[in-house]
Amino acid sequence: MVVYTDTPFSLYSPCPFRFLNIWHSHDLFLSCVKDACIRNDSVSGLLKLAIRLKRTKVALRTWNKNVFGRVGENLQALEERMEVLENQLQSGFLRRSKPITWLLKSSGVDPCDLSELIKSQISNVDNNFLCLELTEEEVKRAVLSIPKDSIPGPDGFGSEFYMSCWDIVKEDIMDAAKDFFRGTPLSRFYSSSFIVLIPKVDNPSSFDKFRSISLCSVAYKFFSKIIVFRLSDVVQKLVSHEQGAFIPGRSIFENIMFAQETVHSLHKKMTGGNVMVKLDMAKAYDRVNWSFLLEVFKAFGFSDSFSKLIKKCVESPWFSVMMNETFKEFFQPARGLRQGDPFSPLLFIIMEDVLTRCTLWYLWDILEDLVAELEGVNFIVLHQYREGNSATDFHAREGILGVIGKFGFGFVILAYKDEFEIYSADVDKALIP
């Protein structure tokens, strides 16, 4: 239920700390940060960085009040003014935002032996590369890869803070990154995320009309980015050629061109005729089963050390939904991938590739009268369909939906029935149920 009210909102908890990029332009900023970080601490690694960031947060709050004054209240007034102007624009010509799936819980299944689908492809050389000792250049590359204007997570420190204070905090970040790769568990200081709900349409009436943004800790993003850079070098040998996005050297435009060519080729004469099936998935990120994901990495041949890093990244998150710039208690999910985690796209396409293999294997082995060609997961082309195209033959639609649902492999796929479409050159689309 979504309730609208014309009365001004009131804060139900204090606003979280947020680093303001304007601070680093002040002459006294670096000295304030240095004074907060220069104290000797008896701990090291991830815990040391967390303690110093918390101490820096307190120091910057006090320093901001003394130097900049009522910045927060002035900023809120300007944001309210901007909101009024944006509403005026939206009523005129602004386009609505594109729909993006939002993370929900789901149950997963593991009906098949992965050895039927996946052969070990990661060599000892690859595993050694993935677990190499970190270098300062590698960590700095991860830091610089995060946009300066990225919104911070619960700790309040954005990428601009780390870039402007690199000489002060680089040793702490290096120690924390090495501690992370040694297997030290992530505390909630790093694993906590804010979820912000943004309406996809004007006057949304249900939660599926919102899209979510997960605001992860920027410090955690550094660690995640290092894994992404390393894994990107070896993932090409794992993922089937049908996957075009997020793989270095590939482009999703190749998939688009292939789809266009397939549509035009529907009119080519072939025994039995041509049929194209278009399938869309619902909430795919949310339905990734963590246990199955680890089984997939094991089947591909990843080492236990690297698999534990993956497990730590996907199982550690805590979430709190932000409302009116404030938040309440945190909760922990049971499955799914964070859309704000730099690591999530690579993890998802690896899982998606298993679904590709599974669907092809099932169609070849069970549906002997169909020759299937799978484009990613959303696009399936079926050649040499049964002779005698009639409305009753299209009951195969339910069979294909059953394949996708039954063999969802760790993220049970909910196919939008309204977006499941079958096209044929010989049959009137009105006959398709």
Residue 414 φ then ψ, to 5°: -100, 105
Pairing of strands 192-199, 318-321: parallel
| pLDDT surpasses 70 at 378 | no
Instruction: Encode pLDDT of 338-356 as tens digits.
Output: 888 888 888 888 887 877 7
Position 357 confidence tier, pLDDT thresholds 50, 70, 90:
confident
Instruction: Give the best-scoring range by mean pLDDT among 10-19, 197-206, 363-372, 401-410.
Output: 197-206
Rounded to the nearest integer, the mean pLDDT of the chain is: 73
Instruction: Give the best-scoring range by mean pLDDT among 38-47, 105-114, 125-134, 421-430.
Output: 125-134
Q: Which of 82 and 180 is assigned the larger pLDDT?
A: 180
Confidence (pLDDT) at 393:
34
State the average pLDDT over residues 160-172.
Answer: 91
b/e map 23-56, b = 16+ CB within 10 Å: beeeeebeebbeebbeeeeeeebbbbbbbbbeeb
Confidence (pLDDT) at 220:
93
Confidence (pLDDT) at 176:
93
Q: Which of 316 and 7 is assigned the larger pLDDT?
A: 316
Lowest mean per-residue pLDDT among 17-31, 97-111, 183-197, 333-347? 97-111
State the average pLDDT over residues 170-175.
Answer: 92
Confidence (pLDDT) at 74:
73
State the average pLDDT over residues 97-103.
Answer: 33
Confidence (pLDDT) at 86:
72
Pairing of strands 318-321, 210-216: unpaired
**Percentage with pLDDT > 90 across the chain:** 15
Q: Tell me the CA distances in angstroms from 39 to 48, 56, 164, one per residue in order.
A: 11, 11, 20
Confidence (pLDDT) at 302:
92
Token pair in block for residue 169: 């905090």
Largest CA distance in the chain: 81
Confidence (pLDDT) at 391:
29
Confidence (pLDDT) at 381:
36
State the average pLDDT over residues 164-181.
Answer: 92
Confidence (pLDDT) at 311:
92
Q: Which of 257 and 196 is assigned the larger pLDDT?
A: 196
CB count within 10 Å of CB 214 equals: 20
Say how far apart CA 48 and CA 50 lie, in whole Å: 5
Instruction: Encode pLDDT of 111-135 as tens digits.
Output: 446 776 788 888 999 999 998 899 9
Q: Which of 329 and 96 is assigned the larger pLDDT?
A: 329
| pLDDT surpasses 70 at 424 | no
Confidence (pLDDT) at 282:
64
Confidence (pLDDT) at 226:
93
The contacts of residue 355 (CB under 8 Å, 6+ apart) are 377, 404, 407, 408, 409, 411, 413
Say how far apart CA 266 and CA 303 lie, in whole Å: 45
| pLDDT surpasses 90 at 174 | yes
Lowest mean per-residue pLDDT among 81-85, 88-92, 306-310, 420-424? 420-424
Instruction: Encode pLDDT of 268-326 as tens digits.
Output: 766 556 666 666 666 777 778 888 888 889 988 999 999 999 999 999 999 988 877 78
Confidence (pLDDT) at 38:
80
